[in-house]
Amino acid sequence: MIPAGPATWSYEGYDPDRERLREALCTLGNGVFATRGALPECTADEVHYPGTYAAGCYDRLTSHVAGRAVENEGLVNLPDWLALRFRPRDHRGPADWLHPDRARTLDHRCVLQLERGVLERFTRYQDAQGRLLAVRQLRLVHMAEPQLALLRTDFTAENWSGELDVESALDGTVRNAGVPRYRDLNGAHLVDVHPGRAGPHGITLRCRTRTSDLRIALAARTTSPDPVRAQVLDQHTARAAQLLHLPMAEGRTVTVDKTVALYTSRSPAIGDPLWAAVDAVGHAPGFDELLASHLTAWRQLWRRAELDVPGEAGRILRLHLFHVLQTLSPHTAELDVGVPARGLHGEAYRGHVFWDELFVLPYLNLHFPEVSRALLTYRHRRLGAACRAARDAGHRGAMYPWQSGSDGREETQRLHLNPRSGRWLPDHTHLQQHVGSAIAHNILRYAEATGDTEFLHTKGAETVLQIARFWADRAAYDGDLGRYRIRGVVGPDEYHDAYPDADRPGIDDNAYTNVTAAWVLARAVVLLASLPEPRRVELSERIVLDDGEEEVWRDVAHRLYVPFHSGVISQFEGYAGLAELDWDAYRRKYDDIRRLDRILEAEGDSVNRYRASKQADVLMLAHLFSPGELASLFRQLGYAMDDTGWRRTVDHYLRRTSHGSTLSGLVHGWVLARARRSEAWTFVHEALTGDIADVQGGTTGEGIHLGAMAGTLDLVQRGLTGLRTRDDALSLDPAPLPELTGSGYGFTIRYRGHWGVRLRLSHGRLRITVPMSDRAPIRVELPDRAVTVRPGESWELLLDRSPASDSLRASG
C-alpha cells in the first residue's frame, strides 16, 4: 500500500453519501477520454455513477419540460468499460454479486496516486456466508496510448476455498443521468448498441450516438495468468460480457487483467472504430509493460508542470494540476475540442465550453503552449458560426456563444430548473456576450507568452478582428451621453439578467463588458497595424474590412460608457438604483446563501431587485489586467480611476457578493492579494477547497470546476508573482501570501522555446534558472530593475526595493 503523502489523495472507509464526490475527484483521464472513479462492481443508482466521457463527443436531444420542447446538446456518457463484478461460489452454488451497499465491507480504501496517474482501491468484503474476499484494484487511463485503459484486480480468498465468478463487461445500457437537476431531460444518447466477441478472451461493443451519429467502439480482453475457465456470455442485451471462473484456495491471490480500447469516429488515424479497438487490444502488451509506459508519460508531464508549494496548499494544488492535465493533456493538441468547464468528470453543464478558458489558458501557455493553441483553434474553427450568430442578431463580426459544444452554435439552455422552487425558468445567460472578449484576450495573451506570431497573424488575428468588429457594431452611440453604449447584455455576475419588472431580458452597460470590449478594440487596431503588410492586405480582403472601420474601432475604444456611482464603478447602468439586500438576515435564515438567486425566486422575489452579485464582475477587471494596465485603460476611456477609487470599488462589491460560483473565491483572492492582503487568504482558501470540500453544495460530484482548479495554479504562477510576459520580457512584481506559499515556492515554465525555466521565490529573493540551450537570453524585469539571463545561467535577485546595486547577484 502506498502511504498517503504529497503525491497521493486517499479516502478511507465506504461512505455512500460522499461516493459521487469521490468518483469525480478520483476520475482518471488522458485528455482524450476520462472515467469517473466509480467502483467497477457498481452500476448507476442513487449512490454510484460510473461515467466515461470522450472529449468533444456530444449529442443533441429534444426533451419535453414545462410544456415545451427543448433541445440540449450534451457530452455523452459512453459505455462503461470498467464494469467488473464478482461473487464467491462453493458447493452450495453462487452467492450474490458483491456490492458495497449489499455486502459487508470490512475495509475500504481508495488512493489516487497523483504522480503515477493510477487509482488504487482496496476492499475486504464479507458475504452472507461469512466468506472474506480481499479485492485490490489498480486502474489507469493510459497517458501514452490515449485509447487504452486498464484494470488489474487481485482477489484473495481469506478464509475459504472454492471458485470465484468474475464477470467483465462492456456496458452499453448506460444513459446520461448524472445530474439530478436534468432528470426530466432525455438522456438516451446511445443507440444501435451491438455486443460482440473478438477471439477467445475478447468482447466488443459498438454503438452510435442518436443524432450526432458518432460511432463508438470498445474492445476488452480479460485474462488471468492463473488457469481459469472463461466463457463469453450470450449477447442478447446492450451489454457484452465475459465470465471467468477462478479456482480460489484459502490465502492465495489470483489476478485478473482487463485491457480496454475505446475509439470513436472522431479518433485520429483510424478507419472503422471497431476494427481499431479490436486491433489495439489485440496488439496491446501486458499490464506491466503498459504500466511502465504510462508512468513514463506521467513523469514527463509532471516535469513540464513542476510545482513546488509546501504543505497542504501544495498538496491541493497538485490535485488541481492532476485534473487539469487529465482533461487537457498534450493529446488534446491533436483534437478539435474546447475547455469543458466541468472537466471530463461528470455531466454538469453538459460538457459545455464557457469563458472558463480565461482561467485555464494562462496556465497552459507557460507549460503546454501547443495545447493552448489547439484550444484557440477550436474557437477559430467556429468563427463562421459566431459570424452567422452575429448576422442573425443584426450585427457584424463574430458573436461567440456563451456555451459552446460541437459546432459552435449557442448551446445555453433556454429553460433551467430551480431545484428549490421546482420551477422551470427562462435562462437568459446566453446574453453573456463578454465571452468574445475572453477569447480575444486569450489569443493576445497566448501570443505574448509564446511569441507565436504565426498563429497570431493568421487564425488569431482573424478571430480578434471579427470580435472587435462585433463590439464596434454592437455599441450604439448615445448623443446625450456623448458615448457608446452596449445595451441588453448579461455580465459575468449572471444574477442580473434583466431590470426589475422589465419585460425584456438584459441590462445595459455592464462595466466589465464595456471595459474589456474597449481593450479588445484598442488591441485590434494595434494588431492590424502590426501585421506584415501582405498579411494585412490578405486578411482585410478576406474579412472585407471597410476603409473607415478601423477609425470607428478606435473611436469606440475611447468612448465606451462606464457607469459610476459614489466614486465606485457601477456593475451596470441603473445598478445604483437597486435595493440593498439584508445580507445578515438571509445568512441567518439560510445555511448557505451562495445561490441567492434560487432562494429569492423560491420566495417569490427576484435577485434582479438587489445589489447582490453571484460572483466577481467588476472586480474581474483586476484579474485580467495589472494595476498599470487597468489605470491606462480607464485613461483611454477618459475616466479617472485612481487607487482610492479602485479600493472603494473593491470594498463595495466585496460586501455584496454571494460567491455562487467557484470562480468567485479565486478572483477575489487574486484581487485582494494586491488590494487588501490580510483578507485575501479566506478567498484563496475557498478557491483551494472548492472541489475537495464541495463548497458549492454537492456540485463537484457532477464534475470538477476546471476553471477554479487551473485558476489556483495560475494564482501561484502569475497572481502572486505578478508574472507578465509582455514586451518580450518576463516581468515580475511579487505579492507574497505566506498562508499559501509558506516561506518559499517555485515552479518551472516553458517560455519562448526555453524548456524548464525554473523560478523560485523564497526569503525575499527570486532565483531564476535558465537551462542550457541555443535560445536567446531572457530579459527579466522587476519593478525597479532588469537583468538578462542567458541559457545555462542562474540569477538571484533580492526582491526588496533597496538600491539595485545591493540587490542583484549573479550566481550562475
Minimum Å gap between C-beta 432 and ligand BGC is 8
Minimum Å gap between C-beta 705 and ligand BGC is 6
Residue nearer to ligand BGC on the CB measure, 160 or 359: 359
Residue nearer to ligand BGC on the CB measure, 131 or 614: 614
Q: Phi and psi for 421 in degrees, rounded to 5?
A: -100, -15
Quick one: cell of 404? 459552446
Element of type H or E holding 707: helix 706-714
DSSP state string for 730-774: EE------HHHHTTEEEEEEEETTEEEEEEEEETTEEEEE--S-S
CB 162 within 8 A of CB 89: yes
Minimum Å gap between C-beta 701 and ligand BGC is 15
Residue nearer to ligand BGC on the CB measure, 349 or 446: 349
For 618, 755, 777, the CA distances from 774, given in Å and listed in that order, are 44, 11, 9
For 320, 324, 508, the CA distances from 751, given in Å and listed in that order, are 22, 20, 40
The neighbour count for residue 604, using CB atoms within 10 Å, is: 7
The neighbour count for residue 256, using CB atoms within 10 Å, is: 23
Minimum Å gap between C-beta 86 and ligand BGC is 38
Q: Which of 411, 494, 550, 793 is catalytic?
A: 494
Element of type H or E holding 455: helix 453-455
CA distance 101 to 47: 9
For residue 573, give every residue at least 6 positions away whose Cβ sits within 8 Å of its Cβ, in sequence order, or none: 485, 507, 508, 509, 561, 563
Element of type H or E holding 564: strand 564-565
CA distance 141 to 297: 12
CB 25 within 8 A of CB 322: no
Minimum Å gap between C-beta 340 and ligand BGC is 9
For 361, 607, 707, the CA distances from 358, given in Å and listed in that order, are 6, 26, 8
Residue nearer to ligand BGC on the CB measure, 41 or 356: 356
Residue nearer to ligand BGC on the CB measure, 509 or 617: 617
Between strands 808-810 and 794-798, the pairing is: antiparallel
CA distance 731 to 770: 15
CA distance 470 to 434: 11
494 is catalytic: yes
- Which of 794, 808, 716 has its CA nearest to residue 757? 794
Element of type H or E holding 23: helix 19-25
Quick one: cell of 446? 497566448
CA distance 19 to 522: 50
Q: Phi and psi for 295 in degrees, rounded to 5?
A: -65, -35
Minimum Å gap between C-beta 747 and ligand BGC is 25
Residue nearer to ligand BGC on the CB measure, 598 or 611: 598
Minimum Å gap between C-beta 65 and ligand BGC is 20
Q: Which residues of 124-143 are buried (b: 16+ CB within 10 A; e: fewer)?
A: bbbbeeebbbbbbbbbbbbb
CA distance 573 to 317: 39
- Which of 480, 624, 648, 498 has its CA nearest to residue 564? 648
Residue nearer to ligand BGC on the CB measure, 341 or 780: 341
Minimum Å gap between C-beta 180 and ligand BGC is 17
Minimum Å gap between C-beta 661 and ligand BGC is 4
CB 539 within 8 A of CB 462: yes
Minimum Å gap between C-beta 492 and ligand BGC is 6
Quick one: cell of 430? 446566453
Residue nearer to ligand BGC on the CB measure, 349 or 470: 349
Residue nearer to ligand BGC on the CB measure, 58 or 155: 58
Residue nearer to ligand BGC on the CB measure, 59 or 494: 494
Q: Which residues bind ligand BGC (CB under 6 A)?
A: 341, 349, 354-356, 492, 494, 614-615, 661, 663, 707
Angle between helices 627-636 and 511-530 (to 10 degrees): 90
CA distance 225 to 134: 18
Minimum Å gap between C-beta 304 and ligand BGC is 26
Residue nearer to ligand BGC on the CB measure, 462 or 617: 617
Active site residues: 494
